[in-house]
Amino acid sequence: MEKSFHRFTELFAQLGLPSDVEAIREFIARHSPVPAGTRLEEASFWTPGQAQLLAELIAQDADWAEVADQLNAALHRV
């Protein structure tokens, strides 16, 4: 079975956030950097539902895990 490739825009839509490129840039700028050692889904700015969705996507190593990892990297940058 072939894995799907998902984009930031799709992940943000799944999270119920504005998903246009400018909104994503603003979100990352506003919430970066996440403190070192903080897991993506544990960041304080997620709603409980968003945090749960991220945790499930990462734990299941779902098709979404790669883009979640990319978001994690973007938010942890200084």
Q: What is the structure's pLDDT at 1?
A: 41
Q: In this predicted model, what pLDDT tens digit does every residue of 9-22 receive, in sequence order?
A: 999 999 999 999 99
Cα–Cα distance between 70 and 11 in angstroms, integer?
A: 11
Amino acid type, 77? R
Q: What is the structure's pLDDT at 70?
A: 92
The segments of the chain whose pLDDT lies below 70 read: 1-4, 62, 78
Paired tokens of 3: 């894995």
First-to-last alpha carbon distance for the chain, in angstroms, is: 37
Q: State the DSSP code for 42.
A: G
Record: fold of 8-76: Arc Repressor Mutant, subunit A (1.10.10)
CA 62 to chain centre: 13
Instruction: Report the predicted TM-score, pTM, of the whole model to 2 decimal places.
Output: 0.87
Sorted by where each begins, the domain ranges of the chain are: 8-76
Paired tokens of 34: 């996440």
